Amino acid sequence: MTEETAVPTADAIGIRDAVTVTLPADSAYLSVLRTATAGLAARLDFTLDEIEDLRIGVDEACAMLLTQALPGTELTTEFELTPEAMRISVSVMTADGRLPARDTFAWTVLSALAGDVDAGVGVDDRVRIVLCKHRGTLEST
């Protein structure tokens, strides 16, 4: 079951769009989420490399969360789109509300791909990972 909503909203910076995708907390559905991520990033004129980074970043965040998702629950992904950035929040219900470890290779990869990354715990032990990528922020090598 896939639920998708788009709600245009206004904030202090200007107009932004919000899209929520809800899928079963099962890795079999992640291709749908990767495709939605790429489509939304393309809408914001992210480069092909930035789009691929976001696709892989969302996949990595989901992989980290799905290991502790309660069976039969949903994976919720909220996208906030502004002219300059995309903010992605991925969350699942867990048994213990344990945050992902930040000292792992997976977290390092996620941070390198997405730019700003954070994690938190909400009500009912819902764990979330939040990615924020700004358009055109290529790192110099």
Q: What is the tens place of the pLDDT at every residue in 106-136?
A: 899 999 998 899 999 998 899 999 999 998 7
Contact indicator for 54, 114 with CB cutoff of 8 Å = yes
Q: What is the tens place of the pLDDT at every residue in 46-94?
A: 999 999 999 999 999 999 999 999 999 999 999 999 988 999 999 999 9
Contact indicator for 75, 25 with CB cutoff of 8 Å = yes
Q: Does residue 7 register a pLDDT over 70?
A: no
Structure tokens at 89: 């929040």
Which amino acid is residue 65, in one-letter code? Answer: L
Domains plus CATH for the chain? 3-134 (3.30.565.10)
Contact indicator for 76, 88 with CB cutoff of 8 Å = no
Give the pTM: 0.83
CA–CA dist 63, 103 (Å, integer): 16
CA–CA dist 34, 97 (Å, integer): 25
